[in-house]
Structure 1
């Protein structure tokens, strides 16, 4: 694994690369709220073994990147940052197809990226994406003060080790959400809902049916709004929010690589 430092819209961004000498595709991993791309080590290894060079930034205010912790005032800037990472990947491997994989908040960023730069992508994979009817921002913004209730580690996966590692991870934010970030979520949910579908771009949607952080029914509204002509859905019985860390993750990884095989050979 290598690390790069890019100048983002709000300071320096740390980008991880899981290299491949002669990749058949590039995979750009877009992490979720409060976490960092290092939590996607296993997914990255699966994709490298499948023939990808994998890249992923820590977003502004997250992980090893600069900025006040978990402060995102405009997700359009984060999309611009992710596009800079795409440019870095393509400079290393010109002409190689690019696939975007976004989880949770990263799904919101990836969906918006596809609306802005969809012609640059070969495929879009959304895992537990924050799109559509997500009620949390409205609930929090109605309060005078946002409560200090961090993400429950048990909501991430049925595997207790996942929650324990999350709780102990110093690069994960364990404090309250910040009002400007919640306001940015609300605005960008609206932007994506009005931003049109992704046209012919192949889209794979992954979701646990016991996801309490980003409930499946709310995301479905958003996915229906952006899906174009080539759409694949995989919902997993009993799975919680992080399907890449779930007890059935081998099945999830196989669904991703099968989908990408179909895209790349099709």
Structure 2
């Protein structure tokens, strides 16, 4: 744990996996935000945005998802989903939400914030439980909604490698190549070199904590059926991304998601930030992004 990082708690799911999470508790919060992080990272570096949410009266629960952070040891190692398979990713998100709601006590609105791979998991969670949520923010959506089933089939062709970890820089190489004059393989994350260096130095991020083909296959197996059931989502959604994010096809994938949500009758707002890359909360315009998110969440207070 870094000097400014929030302490880690854990809860054990029904498969016996100890799920690590952090809970930020301001005095008398009016709402709760449950965070699902992206691939090859973890929930700990959410400190800055969690403190901003706390200042706005929102508690935050951020888990280390299976195969990531401090949960990876219990689920079988980096990039391994472990017992329960893909559905357990949703179960653990719901479990941490329940733990946080119980710790806070009382009744208050709960939101999901999903980033990147976490936004794909978050979309599946919305289809499963949106009637009990006040809203959701999906940030950096990294897949073509209409092609998610085909993507799953393509990943299935990698079945022979399903249990083998692959360095994140290999998986993300096409994103890196989209950034001219790049300094590192991860400049596509942010225009702020200090934030890129922070990511590279984190032992739970990037190549130090790689994914597996099997992990991606399980996540997109959740997303494919969810993409066909958007009309079951019963809460408002904010979709945000940078228009220079190669993971989101320079804004095309988030735009497609927002259009599909609106067509399904879901109240949805879309915000694309000019010049911004993948990690909006760690971008050079992060103060603008943070203010926009807090203002949107505050609409449902």
The TM-score with structure 1 as length reference comes to 0.90
Residue of structure 2 aligned with 1:51, choices 50, 54, 57 = 57
Q: Which residue does the alignment assign to 1:230?
A: 267
Q: What secondary structure does 1:78 align onto?
A: helix
Residue of structure 2 aligned with 1:39, choices 45, 69, 72 = 45
Q: Which residue does the alignment assign to 2:297?
A: 260
Q: Which residue does the alignment assign to 2:117?
A: 105
Q: Which residue does the alignment assign to 1:122?
A: 134
CA distance in 1, matches of 2:68, 2:266: 34
Q: Which residue does the alignment assign to 1:244?
A: 281
Structure 1 runs of 4+ off > 4 angstroms? 134-148
Residue of structure 1 aligned with 2:212, choices 178, 182, 190 = 178
Q: Which residue does the alignment assign to 1:163?
A: 196
CA distance in 1, matches of 2:22, 2:119: 19
Is 1:69 paired with 2:78? yes
In the TM superposition, residue 224 of structure 1 has moved relative to its aligned partner by 3.1
Q: Which stretches in structure 2 are left out of the alignment for 5+ residues?
A: 1-5, 173-184
Is 1:217 paired with 2:252? yes
Alignment of 1:118-157 (within 5 A): 118-131=130-143, 132=145, 133=147, 148=167, 149=170, 151=172, 152-157=185-190
CA distance in 2, matches of 1:172, 1:43: 18
Distance change (3 Å), C-alpha of 1:7 and 1:180: same
CA distance in 1, matches of 2:200, 2:238: 29
Distance change (3 Å), C-alpha of 1:263 and 1:193: same
Kindly provide the CA deviation profile for residues 145-188 of structure 1, in whole angstroms up to 9, marking residues without a partner as x. 68641543211000011111111101114165312113223322
Deviates more, 1:15-24 or 1:227-236: 227-236
Contact 1:198–1:226, Cα closer than 8 Å, also in 2: no
Distance change (3 Å), C-alpha of 1:81 and 1:222: same
Q: What secondary structure does 2:300 align onto?
A: helix
Kindly provide the CA deviation profile for residues 35-67 of structure 1, in whole angstroms up to 9, marking residues without a partner as x. 000121111111000001111110111101122
Contact 1:14–1:58, Cα closer than 8 Å, also in 2: yes
Q: Which residue does the alignment assign to 2:175?
A: none
CA distance in 2, matches of 1:263, 1:112: 21
In the TM superposition, residue 75 of structure 1 has moved relative to its aligned partner by 3.0
In the TM superposition, residue 195 of structure 1 has moved relative to its aligned partner by 2.4
CA distance in 1, matches of 2:43, 2:124: 19
Q: Which residue does the alignment assign to 1:86?
A: 97
Q: What secondary structure does 2:271 align onto?
A: strand
Aligned residues: 264
Across the aligned residues of Structure 1 and Structure 2, the Cα RMSD in angstroms comes to 2.3
Q: What secondary structure does 1:166 align onto?
A: helix
Kindly provide the CA deviation profile for residues 73-117 of structure 1, in whole angstroms up to 9, marking residues without a partner as x. 643211110000111111122211101111001101111111111
In the TM superposition, residue 142 of structure 1 has moved relative to its aligned partner by 5.1
The TM-score with structure 2 as length reference comes to 0.80
CA distance in 1, matches of 2:260, 2:113: 18
Kindly provide the CA deviation profile for residues 205-241 of structure 1, in whole angstroms up to 9, marking residues without a partner as x. 1110111123221233333334544211110011001
Which structure has greater helix proportion? 2
